[in-house]
């Protein structure tokens, strides 16, 4: 009798855990340009062009740099 109460809850918990997986901060696509915010120290390598990076960082006190992990052609 006791299992009949807990079994549905156990099934729901197991289903939720099965759907959970590790997520990385970077996208699967490698972008040629990265930014670093000088105030927070946060970094983002999600820019297709240097100009795009510079426009995003404008006024934020950060800088743009070439992604060292990018192996393709830079724009």
Strands 62-66 and 43-47: unpaired
Q: How many domains does the chain have?
A: 1
pLDDT at 70 over 60: yes
Quick check: 69 pLDDT over 60?
A: yes
6-62: pLDDT as tens digits: 777 767 776 666 665 544 454 557 899 999 999 999 999 999 999 999 999 998 889
Q: Rounded to 10 degrees, what is the CA torsion of 53, 54, 60, 65?
A: 70
Domain that holds residue 53: 30-70
Burial of 53 (0-12, 13-18, 19+ CB in 10 A): buried
Residue 56 is assigned to a structural domain of this protein: yes
pLDDT at 23: 45
pTM: 0.57
Assess if residue 40 is contained within a domain. yes
User: Does residue 59 belong to any structural domain of this protein?
Assistant: yes
Q: What is the pLDDT of residue 27?
A: 52
């Amino acid at each position: 009798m006791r299992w009949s109460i807990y079994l549905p809850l156990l099934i729901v918990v197991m289903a939720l855990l099965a759907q959970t997986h590790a997520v990385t901060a970077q996208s699967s696509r490698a972008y040629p340009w990265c930014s670093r915010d000088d105030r927070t120290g946060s970094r983002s390598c999600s820019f297709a062009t240097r100009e795009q990076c510079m426009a995003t960082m404008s006024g934020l006190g950060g800088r743009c740099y070439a992604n060292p992990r990018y192996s393709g052609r830079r724009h």
